[in-house]
Every structure is written in C-alpha cells, then in structure tokens.
Amino acid sequence: MASCSPSLLLQLEFPLTRRPTTPSSERSTRPFSVRSIKLPIRKVPGDYGIPFIGPIKDRFDYFYNQGRDEYFKSRIQKYRSTVFRVNMPPGPFIAPNPKVVALLDGKSFPVLFDVTKVEKKDLFTGTFMPSTELTGGYRVLSYLDPSEPKHGHLKRLMFFLLKSRHDKVIPEFRSSYTELFQNLEKELATKGKANFGDANDQAAFNFLARSLYGSNPTDTQLGLDGPKLIQKWVLFQLSPILNLGLPRLIEDFIFHTFRLPPSLVKADYNRLYDFFYQSSGFVLDEAQRLGISRDEACHNLLFATCLNSFGGMKFFFPNVLKWIGRAGVKLHTQLAQEIRSAVRSNGNDITMAAIENMPLMKSTLYEAFRIEPPVPLQYGRAKRDLLVESHENAFEIKEGELLFGFQPLATKDPKIFERPEEFVADRFLGEGEKLLKHVVWSNGPETESPSIGNKQCVGKDFVTLISRLLVVELFLRYDSFDIEVGSSPLGSAVTLTSLKRASF
C-alpha cells in the first residue's frame, strides 16, 4: 500500500474544530501516544457475549435470524459505530476463537491491505482454516503471509503461469464463451429459458484449462466432470461460512458445527490433481527451478485455478449479468454501440487495445465489482498495537487482535460514494476515475498491483480482462437480454429469459 502518515490524513480530512461525539463512557482513558490524532479516540464498542452461547447465537443471527447484511447494519446502529467487536461464524466447534473487530466503512477497511500492520497467515477463510488434507497436506499460497519465504516463491510461480499463457487468453475465452452462448440460445429455443450458472461453470472450467494449461478437459479422463468435482471440494472447505438454503437446524448441525471429513472427497480431488499434473509440466519445471517440489506446485496450481479462479468466475460472472440485466435496455444499447464501434475501428479484431477504447464498459464492470465484491470477507491479525480510524473515531487495537472487514459495506460507504446502493454504470468515467482507489475487490485498491510483498490477487489483471471479454462477447452477439434472478450459496442464480440478436 502507498503509505501516508495517518496524522497527515487526519488533518487533511478532519478540520481541527471537529469536536468529539463519542459518549464519555466509551472514550478511551488512555490518551495514546499519537498527539496529532484529531479524531476522538474511542474504545472499540461491542462484546462477544457469554462464551460458547454468544458465538452460537451470533451464528444463527448471521445466517438465519437477521442475515449477513442486517447482522452488520443493525450493530452499526446499535453501537453508533462502523467499528465494533462481534463474533464471526462458524464459531464452535470449528473455530475455537470467533472474536473479531469488524471494520465496516471505506476508511478503516484498507488497513487490512497493509501487511506492515496486519498478518495474513491462515486467514483466507477467516476464523477457521480448512484441513490441509484438502490441499495435499500443504498450506497453499492463499493462506501464506508475505513474511513467509514460500509466499514469494509461489506467487512468482503464479505470475510466471499467467505471463507465459498471456496470448492464449483472448482466443480461448472467445471460443469457450461462443460455445456457451450457442448452447444458451439452443436451450432458450427449446425451453423458453436458460440457466446461465450451469453453462458458465462448464465454460469457465474449459476456458481456464485451455488458456492456462493448453489442455482440453473433454479430451481427458476428466471429461465434463471438472465443475462438479470442484464444487464438492469447495463445499468441504467453505461450508462452515456458507448459507446453503437447507432447513436451518440440519444445515447448522451438519455444515456449521463440525468439519466434513476430507476423506469423503479425496477420490474426486485426486482426479482433479491428475488432470493438473498431466497438463502443467511447463509450470512444474519452473517450480523446481524456484525450489518448489512438483507436488506442492501442483496442489497450488489446482487451488489457484479451481478455487481462486473458477470460484471467482462462478460468483462474479452471473453477478455481471444480473447488474447489467437489471440496468435495462438503455445501458444495453449504449454498451452495444460502444463495444461494436471500438471493435470495428480495430479492424473487427478484439485486442487489448480495442478493449481500452470502451470506457463505459470498463466503468460498468468496476461498478459491478464495487456494488457486490465477489470475495466479501477479509481478515488480518494486528501485528502490533495500532490505531484504526473510521470517519468519526480512532480505535485502539491490540497486537494479536483479529480485524475483519465486510467489503460490501466499505465499497458502499455513503461518505465515499454518492447513491452507494445504486448501480451507476458510468460512475467511474471522467472525474469518477478518482474513486477507483476505493474499488478493492482484488484485496487492494484498483489503482495498485499485486506483488510478492503484498496479498493482492495474483489474477487481478487476468480477471479484469476476462470480465471485459464477457461483456464484449455479450454485446457483440446481442442488442439486449432479459433475466430472472434467484439466490444460490455462491452468489446469484441467473436465468436468461431472452437474448435479442444483434441488429446493428
């Protein structure tokens, strides 16, 4: 993260005349050593309830009684603060310590990206970590802190993979997603509607395998089984923090209270592993050169491709259709005009340069990332005593405390974004570009880049490119489309009810 003295920031953003608004009972008794802090220092409000009972009660509120958004919003009201103490699921018996300090505004949230202040070891899934038996016995890259030497080696390997296959992305995306739209058209013609999610799962997996490894799953033992195998394996890792829509007592007992035994998914995982091992020889050679065993590298490639990449596409692509679909025909027409004109001016070729000339399309996607970030929960453990600032207060955090951010509230902070709850497709055009630093889906500002020293998503540029390619493909083929939206454990269930063929 770019560093800027917190006191300087405070002076710039908060005039000296500002008076404390904190109730005196909650004002910190310790004046903290930073004299230049102009915000009132407040003790972090909130509590964790009675041991064992409190976390379970909170789990039921989070999943069922209130639901995730209300769980946080009601507490913001209660404590009159966007920073407070709260339990995060799953709690007993999976996570022995569910206590976190929640950061729910766009000002406090970014401390989670500052690896000089927070440690990110074993925090990818939050207050619990899935068994390493699900990843070949290794702690894979997403769970490593940049202070661990292996983090740098593995992240370098991922950069190598993406760089070596860079020129395959556009052609393979086009062929996989042309196939997807052709299939959806057929389904629409016969059934009157078409499920985008299932088709997207297959297209996403085929695309990732073909573009990153030059291997076509249907030509191997894997056939069409990839997405199904991944979903089951992901369930074994993430079920403690997912709402699966089952009857609540059954769901809570089976999925949120105990870990599912990894042995039940081992055979499926091995099929995926064999596919990756056979397809990724060139990356495994590079891994050995970097001092990583072929086995450890392969488990990491599997995780990055199936959980980070496939998981991201499974969640984000339906959301793109949902938000653009709901925005209506006016936006569809503007996007179709912009995209077709940029492609025509580029000799009917889709290249990075052509895509750069599609400002509305780019802004629309940033807005989709802002309004519904695909990975909403982020964690970081305070490396030392520190002060975290919301818009109103500064809070003392003790070394070792777990900080947690619910990203959708940070990226819908009304003090940063106007009309935060609205999907404003052109929000990031012109002057709006200055707001891009507050778009943080990649675990860092959109204006910054992943490096071996930070925890920003390795696939940031790759994801940006393929989401743009999705919208380009969509509006080269169609003038407009209609959808129905339901919910699913990972994002939205989108059904297409019409696709209007390109008429200009």
Question: Smallest gap, in angstroms, from Cβ of residue 48 to ligand HEM?
Answer: 22
Q: How far is 216 from 127, CA to CA, in rounded Å?
A: 37
* Paired tokens of 294: 């072929």
> Residue 34: helix, strand or coil by DSSP?
coil
Q: How far is 365 from 425, CA to CA, in rounded Å?
A: 8
Contact with ligand HEM (CB under 6 A) among 363, 443, 464, 480: 443
**C-alpha pair distances (Å), 329 with each of 119, 475, 482, 491:** 46, 12, 9, 23
Contacts of 353 (CB under 8 A, 6+ apart): 346
> Residue 164: helix, strand or coil by DSSP?
helix
> Residue 346: helix, strand or coil by DSSP?
coil
Q: Which helix (H) or strand (E) holds 499?
A: strand 492-501
309 near ligand HEM, judged by CB under 6 A:
yes
- Answer whether 141's CB lies under 8 Å from 304's CB: yes
Binding mask 260-299 for ligand HEM (x = CB under 6 A): ----------------------------------------
Question: Smallest gap, in angstroms, from Cβ of residue 274 to ligand HEM?
Answer: 20
- Please identify, using beta-carbon distances, which residue of 30 and 163 lies nearer to ligand HEM: 163
Binding mask 27-66 for ligand HEM (x = CB under 6 A): ----------------------------------------
- Please identify, using beta-carbon distances, which residue of 124 and 213 lies nearer to ligand HEM: 124
Contact with ligand HEM (CB under 6 A) among 211, 279, 378, 492: 378
Tell me how crowded residue 110 is: count the other CB atoms within 10 A of its CB.
18
* Paired tokens of 32: 């903290």
Q: At what angle do helices 460-477 and 169-191 cross, to 10 degrees?
A: 40
Question: Smallest gap, in angstroms, from Cβ of residue 28 to ligand HEM?
Answer: 29
- Please identify, using beta-carbon distances, which residue of 313 and 472 lies nearer to ligand HEM: 313
Q: How far is 132 from 138, CA to CA, in rounded Å?
A: 6
Question: Smallest gap, in angstroms, from Cβ of residue 51 to ligand HEM?
Answer: 27
312 near ligand HEM, judged by CB under 6 A:
yes
Residue 199: which of 181, 217, 214, 215 has the closest Cα?
Answer: 181
Query: Looking at 31-39, 171-179, 241-249, 438-446, which segment touches ligand HEM (CB under 6 A)?
Result: 438-446
Q: Enter the DSSP assignment of 309.
A: I
State phi, psi for 293 to the nearest 5 degrees: -70, 155
Contact with ligand HEM (CB under 6 A) among 87, 135, 142, 480: 142
At 97, which amino acid appears? N
At 337, which amino acid appears? Q
321 near ligand HEM, judged by CB under 6 A:
no
Residue 67: which of 77, 58, 76 has the closest Cα?
Answer: 58
463 near ligand HEM, judged by CB under 6 A:
yes
458 near ligand HEM, judged by CB under 6 A:
yes
Contact with ligand HEM (CB under 6 A) among 442, 464, 492, 495: 442
User: How much of the chain is in helix, strand and coil states, percent to nearest 5?
Assistant: 50, 10, 35
- Please identify, using beta-carbon distances, which residue of 76 and 452 lies nearer to ligand HEM: 452
Q: What is the separation of C-alpha 289 from the centre of its chain, rounded to a whole number of angstroms?
A: 31
Question: Smallest gap, in angstroms, from Cβ of residue 36 to ligand HEM?
Answer: 31
Question: Smallest gap, in angstroms, from Cβ of residue 211 to ligand HEM?
Answer: 10
| Surface-to-core class of residue 452, CB atoms within 10 Å of its CB (0-12 exposed, 13-18 middle, 19+ buried) | middle
> Residue 111: helix, strand or coil by DSSP?
helix
- Please identify, using beta-carbon distances, which residue of 325 and 459 lies nearer to ligand HEM: 459
- Please identify, using beta-carbon distances, which residue of 61 and 296 lies nearer to ligand HEM: 296
> Residue 389: helix, strand or coil by DSSP?
strand
Question: Smallest gap, in angstroms, from Cβ of residue 181 to ligand HEM?
Answer: 20
Contact with ligand HEM (CB under 6 A) among 304, 321, 354, 499: 304
> Residue 503: helix, strand or coil by DSSP?
coil
365 near ligand HEM, judged by CB under 6 A:
no
Question: Smallest gap, in angstroms, from Cβ of residue 221 to ligand HEM?
Answer: 24
Strands 83-87 and 99-103 come out as antiparallel
- Please identify, using beta-carbon distances, which residue of 87 and 309 lies nearer to ligand HEM: 309
Question: Smallest gap, in angstroms, from Cβ of residue 19 to ligand HEM?
Answer: 36
- Please identify, using beta-carbon distances, which residue of 54 and 152 lies nearer to ligand HEM: 152
The footprint of ligand HEM on residues 73-132 (CB under 6 A) is 120, 124
Point out which residues pair with 86 in neighbouring strands.
100
Q: Positive or negative, the Cα torsion across 182, 184, 187, 188?
A: negative
Query: Looking at 268-276, 328-336, 344-352, 456-464, which segment touches ligand HEM (CB under 6 A)?
Result: 456-464
**Contacts with ligand HEM: how many residues (CB under 6 A)?**
26
- Please identify, using beta-carbon distances, which residue of 150 and 271 lies nearer to ligand HEM: 150
Contact with ligand HEM (CB under 6 A) among 41, 104, 141, 320: 141
Q: Nearest 5°: CA angle at 350, between 346 and 352?
A: 90
Query: Looking at 26-34, 168-176, 250-258, 307-315, which segment touches ligand HEM (CB under 6 A)?
Result: 307-315
Contact with ligand HEM (CB under 6 A) among 76, 188, 244, 375: 375
Residues engaged in binding ligand HEM (CB under 6 A):
120, 124, 141-142, 144, 151, 155, 158, 304, 308-309, 312-313, 316, 374-375, 378, 441-443, 455, 457-459, 462-463
